[in-house]
Structure 1
Amino acid sequence: MTSTTSHFPLPVPLKQDATIIGLVGLAHASSHFAHLLLPLMFPVFMQEFGLSYSELGLLMTTFFVVSGLGQASAGFVVDRLGARPLLFVALGIFVLACSAASMVTGYTGLLVVAALAGLGNATFHPVDFTILNQRVSGPRLGYAFSAHGLTGNLGWAAAPVFFASISSLYSWRTAYLAAAAMYVVILGLLVLQRDKLSTQVAVRHADTPAEHDLAFMKLPVVWWCFGFFMLSTMTLAVVQSFSVSILKAMHGVSFEAATLTLTAYMLCGAVGMFVGGFIAARTDNSDRVVAIAMSVAAVLLALCGTGLFGALGTMVVLAGTGFAVGIGGPSRDMMIKKATPQGATGRVYGMVYSGLDVGFAISPILFGGFMDRGWYGATLFGAAAVLLLSVVAAVGVGQRTSRRTAPN
């Protein structure tokens, strides 16, 4: 048998929960910031190294293949060794990746940076959710998941401003050195507050068969969760990797304005996450909330693909898409929590969230081909269609969770 128990009985002081949520949120923001280490410099890399959209897409595929394989494995390590050591190692890897990025001289170097950054990204979801589920009181988990998602979006929103401003003042290589310094500061802060990040490990008894650790993989609901993350993330990858280029190609938007639109998308997503936290804390039908939010977002994204709204209108609607996706974020995390067997938090979150990495890995290759052919509107239509498929997966998760938890 394996078992874990909570460190803290209720009631837990609000200050204690808030501190833990804030520290985990900072770590999560840093991982989302790393998602954009390379995509934001795609126009620079195309000009400096003569790369195609497909080659740039392969960089992100490399990042997320490494991240996905590492994330599925990291969940087992988190359950055995605790979350904190892996968190510190991951931040150290980000420092190394940013330092390497400042010195690249060609495509091979960029592939190395992508692999390093993907390895650093691999641990964050099993680490974050293990800490939150063990260290935050139950009544505040919905708000914790909201803050977790919100800080992730803020990390995405900060990256374009960070790189655009430093690159314009100095150079893109200096921007990567500044990012490395930022990760050093974050790592130092978390080390100073390390007592807030400790977790209990799963105790394995001698009579427990090895197959027990993999028993959760036999649950269909786990794979429906995996499918949901893979499909919904394929759409997000289109926005992150290609929205700047699509806005420039379809509407002649400047690089600065297109980059600010991506930032607006992320900020609207953060606001949506905040609102969605209250919804998640007050409803048991997490899958329905997710399905409605993603359906609305898919419609808005398809409207952007029509080009009917012109430059300004498309930028506004695209930002609104981020709000709709954000609304469903906390309910998505509650949906996964309900599907997770007791004592397998790290393993389940590691496996399920590796679907996110698979989606990020597949999407740039698939839609990079669309972009190379000049199918800019079709790229947005395709992303909307995939997001609608994720709605089917969310409903499937809800149905199977209800069956598993229904009294006999």
Structure 2
Amino acid sequence: MNTTTATGAPMSGTQTSLKQDAGVIGLVGLAHMISHFSQLLLAPLFPWLKTDFNASYAELGFLMSVFFVVSCAVQMASGFVVDRFGPRPVLFGGLALLGVSAFGFALSTDYWMLAAVSVVAGVGNGVFHPVDYTLLNRKVSSPRLGHAYSVHGITGNLGWALAPAMLVPLALLFSWRVALASAGLLAFAVLAVLWVNRDKLSLPPPTPTTHKTGVPALEGGSLGFMKIPAVWMCFAFFFFYAMALSVVQAFAPEAARQLHQVPVALVATCLTVYMVCSAGGMVLGGFLAADPARCERIVGFGLGFAALVALVIGFADVSGLAVPALFGLMGFAAGTGGPSRDLIVKRATPANSTGRVYGVVYSGLDIGQAVSPLVFGSLMDHGQYRGVFIGLALVQAVLITTAFNVRKARRTAAAPAQMPAGA
């Protein structure tokens, strides 16, 4: 059994092998892909669902709101369950619920049945970040954590890309019900792979430990971490990160089309190129994150460059054919900060509370995705297409400030521990 540090990562003297680390990273990444895949189960099928259920787009959008609100609540609560019972049973339960929900959608006969199944899907989706980061932080060697976070981010992007690529052709060839049933089969197939390799996902119970200087210690019981300012700075970071991502996914391609006469066939390509290039940026970011001390600078540079590209799209006179390339450049720049972003959270996490901290921090993603459409959707309705890109750049600038505020809050909290005795 591997000896672990206070943060749960293997100690340098007992560093796990590359094969062991790769096995854990691959399994966690596979599960994370299904989580993101399931977030887009319904959206690509809206045209079919609108007809068959006689529903408006607002009503169909409400199903997504239900999903993310439930996911947010479950994500915050599931962190405590992960810390208490371990990540493996929670992961298996989440995957099973996503598989069941896909079949539930396929069998739905009215709108309210879709809404009820959206609740089940939200519960299943809510467990993944506390589970994933507990496994990665406690089972992967510290020198490879940057690469682990890189793979984790890439598989999430691939899940988003896979959903429309798989569901729409199946809906066209057969029906939307067949497409959703196939999604359920995929979720259970991944669950089977993880079950066969379940020994690689086992963890010993956490033991009471004391952090080294500069890492916050958990005081005040199971809710003590909520008194740590750096944790809430991380929450704010992910809230604004989700707002920026939501803008790119929902509004930026259409806003660019209106500004630069982008051919209709290329509008969807903007998002695809962004996601693919973001995944490439994460690969580079995994190497850049090898030195945790420079994480904030990496995030700042990547998001700063992405903000500049957003302003170029919003204000420069560029060809419509060049817009997808600019989206790719923006995605690559933002992606380079992905692994460093996750390391920032890890460095703010007290011992034996990874699940709780990541559950609260990553709930900011769900809340940001719920708030962003209200703000930027209003800009789109009023024809403020440049305003969309100004807002995107401003949100990315706030992200940079928030990342450095996390470091400041962490250092402030660590300062008393660094004072000499009797000072």
Please indicate, yes or no, whether the TM-score normalized by the shorter chain is above 0.5.
yes
Cα separation, partners in 2 of 1:397 and 1:130, compared to 1, 3 Å: same
Contact 1:370–1:378 (8 Å) recurs in 2? yes
**Amino acid of the residue matched to residue 84 of structure 2?**
R
Unaligned segments of structure 1, at least 5 residues: none
Superposition pairs of residues 174-185 of structure 1, within 5 angstroms = 174-185=178-189
Contact 2:10–2:140 (8 Å) recurs in 1? no
Cα separation, partners in 2 of 1:168 and 1:36, compared to 1, 3 Å: same
Partner residue, 1:62: 66
* Deviation string, structure 1 residues 210-258 (Cα, Å, up to 9, x no partner): 951001100111111000000111111122234565466663643x643
Matched, 1:129 2:133: yes
Partner residue, 1:186: 190
Secondary structure of residue in 1 paired with 2:41: coil
Cα separation, partners in 2 of 1:131 and 1:283, compared to 1, 3 Å: closer
* Deviation string, structure 1 residues 17-52 (Cα, Å, up to 9, x no partner): 111111011111111112222333345555665655
Partner residue, 1:275: 284
Cα separation, partners in 2 of 1:95 and 1:398, compared to 1, 3 Å: same
After TM superposition, give the deviation of residue 376 of structure 1 in Å.
4.1
Superposition pairs of residues 320-335 of structure 1, within 5 angstroms = 320-335=329-344
After TM superposition, give the deviation of residue 66 of structure 1 in Å.
0.8
Partner residue, 2:200: 196
Secondary structure of residue in 2 paired with 1:365: helix
- TM-score by length of structure 1 reads 0.89
After TM superposition, give the deviation of residue 282 of structure 1 in Å.
3.0
Matched, 1:15 2:24: no
Secondary structure of residue in 2 paired with 1:260: helix
Partner residue, 1:391: 400
Pair member with larger Rg = 2
Matched, 1:301 2:310: yes
Which among 266, 272, 287 is matched to residue 275 of structure 2?
266
Which among 369, 388, 403 is matched to residue 378 of structure 2?
369
Secondary structure of residue in 2 paired with 1:227: helix
Partner residue, 2:212: none
Partner residue, 1:318: 327
**Amino acid of the residue matched to residue 190 of structure 2?**
I
Superposition pairs of residues 26-41 of structure 1, within 5 angstroms = 26-41=30-45
Q: C-alpha separation between the residues in 1 aligned to 2:402 and 2:102?
A: 36
* Structure showing greater relative contact order (alpha-carbon pairs closer than 8 Å, 6 or more residues apart): 1
Secondary structure of residue in 1 paired with 2:203: coil
After TM superposition, give the deviation of residue 292 of structure 1 in Å.
1.8
Q: C-alpha separation between the residues in 2 aligned to 1:97 and 1:210?
A: 39
Q: C-alpha separation between the residues in 1 aligned to 2:382 and 2:326?
A: 25
**Amino acid of the residue matched to residue 357 of structure 2?**
V
Partner residue, 2:120: 116
Cα separation, partners in 2 of 1:109 and 1:323, compared to 1, 3 Å: farther
Q: C-alpha separation between the residues in 1 aligned to 2:168 and 2:303?
A: 30
**Amino acid of the residue matched to residue 172 of structure 2?**
S
Matched, 1:95 2:104: no
Matched, 1:221 2:230: yes
Secondary structure of residue in 1 paired with 2:119: helix
Q: C-alpha separation between the residues in 2 aligned to 1:382 and 1:329?
A: 21
Q: C-alpha separation between the residues in 2 aligned to 1:347 and 1:291?
A: 26
Matched, 1:140 2:144: yes
**Amino acid of the residue matched to residue 398 of structure 2?**
L
Contact 1:70–1:122 (8 Å) recurs in 2? yes
**Amino acid of the residue matched to residue 289 of structure 2?**
A
Cα separation, partners in 2 of 1:48 and 1:302, compared to 1, 3 Å: farther
After TM superposition, give the deviation of residue 404 of structure 1 in Å.
2.9
Q: C-alpha separation between the residues in 2 aligned to 1:10 and 1:135?
A: 11
After TM superposition, give the deviation of residue 382 of structure 1 in Å.
2.3
Q: C-alpha separation between the residues in 2 aligned to 1:379 and 1:72?
A: 30
Cα separation, partners in 2 of 1:105 and 1:382, compared to 1, 3 Å: farther
Secondary structure of residue in 2 paired with 1:340: coil
Cα separation, partners in 2 of 1:45 and 1:225, compared to 1, 3 Å: same
Q: What RMSD, in angstroms, separates the aligned Cα atoms of the two structures?
A: 2.7
Cα separation, partners in 2 of 1:264 and 1:109, compared to 1, 3 Å: farther
Cα separation, partners in 2 of 1:45 and 1:238, compared to 1, 3 Å: farther
After TM superposition, give the deviation of residue 302 of structure 1 in Å.
3.3
After TM superposition, give the deviation of residue 202 of structure 1 in Å.
3.9
* Deviation string, structure 1 residues 354-376 (Cα, Å, up to 9, x no partner): 11111112122333333444444
**Amino acid of the residue matched to residue 337 of structure 2?**
G
Contact 1:62–1:361 (8 Å) recurs in 2? no
Matched, 1:82 2:91: no
Deviates more, 1:161-170 or 1:239-248: 239-248
Q: C-alpha separation between the residues in 1 aligned to 2:10 and 2:293?
A: 26
Contact 1:161–1:263 (8 Å) recurs in 2? no
**Amino acid of the residue matched to residue 69 of structure 1?**
A
**Amino acid of the residue matched to residue 29 of structure 1?**
M
- TM-score by length of structure 2 reads 0.86
Contact 1:58–1:364 (8 Å) recurs in 2? no
Deviates more, 1:130-139 or 1:166-175: 166-175
Q: C-alpha separation between the residues in 2 aligned to 1:304 and 1:106?
A: 42
Cα separation, partners in 2 of 1:224 and 1:39, compared to 1, 3 Å: same
Cα separation, partners in 2 of 1:81 and 1:122, compared to 1, 3 Å: same
